Amino acid sequence: MNNLKKIALQLFAFLFCAHTISAQTPADWVNPFIGTTNYGTTNPGAVVPRGMVSVVPFNVSGNSPLNQTDKDNGWWSTPYSWDNKYFTGYSHVNLSGVGCPELGVILLMPTTGAVNGDFREYGSEMSEQVAHPGYYSTYLNKYGINTEVSATERTGISRFSFPAGQSNILIDLGNGLTNESGASIKIVNNREIEGWRMTGTFCYNDGTERPVYFVARFSKPAEEFGVWKKMPKMGPEAAWSATSNKIKYYKNFKAEMAGDSIGSWFTFNTKANEEILVEVGISYVSIENARLNLNFESQNFDFEATRKQAEEKWNEALSTITVKGGTDDQKTVFYTGLYHIQIHPNILSDVNGQYPAMESFEIKTHPNGERYTTFSLWDTYRNLHPFMSLAFPQQQLNVVQSMLEMYDESGWLPRWELNSTETHVMEGDPALPVIVDTWFRGIRDFDIEKAYEAMYKSATTPGAENKIRPDIDHYISHGYVPLMSQFDNSVSHALEYYIADWNLAQLAKELGKDADYERFLKQSRGYKNYYDTEFGIIRPKLQNGEFMPGFNPRQGENFEPSPGFHEGNAYQYTFCAHHDMDGMIALNGGKKNFVTKLQAIFDDGHFDMANEPDIHYPWLFNYIKGEEWRAQKELNRLMATYFKNAPDGLPGNDDTGTMSTWIVYAMMGIYPVLPGDMNYAIASPVFDEVKIQLDQNFYPGSEIIIKKSGAGDKIKDISLNGKKQKSFFIHHTDLVKGGVLEINF
């Protein structure tokens, strides 16, 4: 950590503590700065639960000395960094907690003096940052402008307090986080502008491009306005033109304007401290829908009402779980986790229900509720969806309904869906465990036969026609995916397929499809193909049945490429057959050897808290009677080490809430180790009491209380409503009947 960062963290601590003294509502326990450095890639922008719009301070471009690293001097995947101070506006569509650059566009920037459309020049040092759910504020040192933002589901609102003189509000459609480019704008009048901006190429995958449409309205008519465009470099004509390769300004221009890098400005003569507000409506369907969203959700420039409404929505969402005990920092880590869980998946549909169909340019209408987007399923299937099922079952139902719509529209369930495009990021078939898990948790108001058909399709279609499992053929014929090229991640692919197929088997059984049950269950056991007795670990295998030569189980640490494994190494993938615990334990030499090997993962530094494949490892000790204390011990250590009330308080990418779900579960003392398996493993809650409100539209109980008692350092016994439990697991069906789960130390 360098000095600048230290000073910044100290300043932050001061500001945040000053703010939380009067904390009373759950929202007051959220620190939106958690995860905004150390690759957490969250941001402190204003957003409401599952909002399409987030209004995020964009400080990751310009290669300014005020920035540590930004998109103009290195890899970058987030619109905001705690380490940066060069502010170039508020972006209105953003991703939180992802590992590839995308969105981060429609930038609203207040300035003073002469209009300048070059973000390398118009940016300002930012200071006095304040973030609260649904609210963010920063002061722009260069201009003496105070800025505040809030949001509704589909609109953003900005309040700028200007000094006296010429004040400008810029809308920059050139700059942005995405690697797509191109935009079109039209100034409607001196208070309104409309347009759209291209997005796409998430993780450099072509075929994922979408325009995002907007309408922006100003609280005051502009005295002057215009658009700008960075002109291409001309050929011989450059000798006569004043604007070749320069920004050209089109004053009072009111026709359409398009280009790779365009923007517009609205200029006002302001009195000292004069406030000008901007409301921005967003849509992925059309400018008309962006205007509709704006008209419907706008509070007519009432910033305080918008902010209050946003905060109320957060308090409602966060109140689903209340805690007693724990330190202030623990409460903050917990509620910030719960906050992050409510950002993605997010709303894609407009107020009239319209949205762009999956992998198509047709406009469809979601029957009721909202169509969701941003499904980082390789991450979220592990814990976020089981969590949504428990705490927000209506939303999880909407998740599954959205996924089935995607199947209807494109012929395939999603893997990593963004704004109705399949980005093909990561691997496996994670839609299956999400759907099966949801069904088994008792959320069943969807067409299970259609869901089965969709899941069956990706589990059985030959590779040449299989969009989700293109390397399925050898997997089906021989039980594993062979290594065909050095970094094809073949083992990772197969391990995901095993879990998916195990889930499908469980559902097949439930639906009376016994042959399918047998088939998929057998398929799910194929993981044993990879077990190499030489190393006592899994190892990539060739098509001819031989193990890959030259194997180094450590390779893959620190995100370097590793043959057979994606974002990890053999250690982090070896215990990923937890859908067959008995089999996996036997394979590893029985219970004792299994415990030894699992413990060594932690002791020898092979455990990676920053990425998903092994995040269930700590709870695997619960499967060996008498060894559960190891889970408690490792979890206490991991929670204390990697999760903090600080900008670097997440161990790595939040992965659209997956890491946040991990810490929320861990702090509550329960964890759904295996999606599709209704048993929660139990470990050490950090709170004296956790109360989860149950949605009685879905569950028999009204609330479940997880109570910590005793003063020992290990769990002595567990009881549900006074009845002692035989294992360190509690079944979902029992839990959602409500009552008290007492964990006695």
Q: Minimum Å distance from CB 254 to its own copies?
A: 4
What SS3 state is found at 531?
Answer: strand
Cβ closest to its own copies, residue 258 vs residue 705: 258
Q: Minimum Å distance from CB 253 to its own copies?
A: 7
Among 605, 53, 70, which Cα is nearest to 298's?
53
* Helix 431-440 and helix 393-410, axial crossing angle in degrees, nearest 10: 140
Cβ closest to its own copies, residue 22 vs residue 485: 485
Q: Is the peptide bond before 345 cis (omega within 30 degrees of 0)?
A: yes
Tokens of 5: 């960062």
Instruction: Label each residue of 180-202 as H, E or C.
Output: CCCEEEEEEECCEEEEEEEECCH
* Sign of the dihedral defined by the CA atoms of residues 418, 419, 423, 429, in that order: positive
Q: Minimum Å distance from CB 266 to its own copies?
A: 16
Cβ closest to its own copies, residue 92 vs residue 229: 229
Q: Minimum Å distance from CB 356 to its own copies?
A: 8
Give the number of C-alpha atoms closer than 13 A to the C-alpha of residue 652, restricted to the C-beta side: 13
* Sign of the dihedral defined by the CA atoms of residues 425, 429, 431, 437, in that order: negative
Cβ closest to its own copies, residue 183 vs residue 663: 183
Cβ closest to its own copies, residue 241 vs residue 269: 241
Q: Minimum Å distance from CB 324 to its own copies?
A: 47
What SS3 state is found at 674?
Answer: coil
Cβ closest to its own copies, residue 241 vs residue 365: 241
- Scored b (16 or more CB within 10 A) or e, 594-619 reads bbebbeebbeeebbbbbbbbbbbbbb
How deeply is 545 buried, as exposed, middle or buried, from its count of CB atoms within 10 A (0-12, 13-18, 19+)?
exposed
Q: Minimum Å distance from CB 301 to its own copies?
A: 26
How deeply is 381 buried, as exposed, middle or buried, from its count of CB atoms within 10 A (0-12, 13-18, 19+)?
buried
Tokens of 72: 């103009």
Q: Minimum Å distance from CB 471 to its own copies?
A: 22
DSSP 263-296: EEEEEEEE-TTEEEEEEEEEESS-HHHHHHHHHH
Cβ closest to its own copies, residue 233 vs residue 726: 233
Single-letter code of the amino acid located at 665? Y
Q: Minimum Å distance from CB 453 to its own copies?
A: 25
Where is 440: in which H helix or E strand? helix 431-440
Q: Minimum Å distance from CB 307 to its own copies?
A: 33
Cβ closest to its own copies, residue 102 vs residue 695: 102
Cβ closest to its own copies, residue 275 vs residue 288: 288
Which stretches of the chain bind its own copies, using CB under 8 A?
A: 71-76, 101, 179, 181-184, 196, 198, 201, 204, 206-207, 209-211, 229, 231-232, 234-237, 240-243, 248, 250-251, 253-262, 356, 361
Q: Minimum Å distance from CB 243 to its own copies?
A: 7
Rounded Cα distance between 490 and 208, Å, is 24
Cβ closest to its own copies, residue 192 vs residue 580: 192
